[in-house]
């Protein structure tokens, strides 16, 4: 069950969270609408390759990864979006594209856009296209220990 690995960690760390079931949705924006949550409060996970190594970038649902800024923050020579076929097998317990932003559960580095810090609570895919987990952003940052920087843009051409 995709949610089990995540909820085990949250329960072990005594984190207050809520599981929100919703109609099947394949994008973070669709999930936000299905769960009746503003899109900026739903975090999406975008998989990237930084100098050939897989990493997660977590940002607000309506935003896009600014690859140039990520390259600077990571001190990388090359940064590119990863194709689903390149990362699908890294998350065998999750539906493709629905992995939660807890890269630490799979030994994958996590980068978070600083805009997510502006909301007290965030929601994110819980391993399926039918459930979100909502929790305090502070707890998320404490558990994941991501690199936080300005990494997003509202334009798809960054």
pTM for the predicted model, two decimal places: 0.92
Q: Is position 9 within any domain?
A: yes
**pLDDT of 53 strictly over 80:** yes
Tell me the pLDDT band of 2, cut-offs 50, 70 and 90.
low
Q: Is position 23 within any domain?
A: yes
Q: Is position 158 within any domain?
A: no
Q: Is position 7 within any domain?
A: yes
For 31, residues 6+ apart whose C-beta sits below 8 A from its C-beta are 22, 25, 42, 61, 123, 125, 129, 132
The tally of domains found in the chain comes to 1
109, 114, 110: which is closest to 150 by C-alpha? 114
Q: Which domain holds residue 91?
A: 2-153
pLDDT in the model for residue 1:
46
The CATH code of the domain that includes 111 is 3.90.960.10
Beta bridge partners of 114: none
């Amino acid at each position: 069950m995709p949610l089990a690995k995540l909820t085990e960690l949250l329960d072990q760390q005594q984190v207050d969270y809520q599981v929100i079931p919703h109609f099947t949705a394949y994008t973070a924006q669709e999930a936000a609408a299905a769960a009746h949550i503003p899109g900026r409060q739903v975090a999406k996970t975008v998989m990237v390759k930084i100098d050939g190594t897989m990493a997660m970038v977590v940002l607000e649902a309506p935003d896009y990864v600014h690859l140039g800024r990520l390259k600077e923050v990571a001190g990388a020579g090359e940064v590119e979006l990863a194709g689903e076929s390149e990362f699908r097998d890294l998350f065998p317990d999750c539906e493709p594209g629905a992995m939660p932003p807890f890269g630490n559960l799979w030994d994958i580095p996590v980068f978070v856009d600083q805009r997510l810090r502006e909301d007290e609570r965030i929601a994110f895919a819980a391993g399926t296209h039918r459930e979100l987990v909502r929790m305090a952003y502070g707890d998320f940052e404490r558990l994941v220990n991501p690199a936080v920087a300005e990494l997003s843009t509202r334009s798809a051409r960054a």
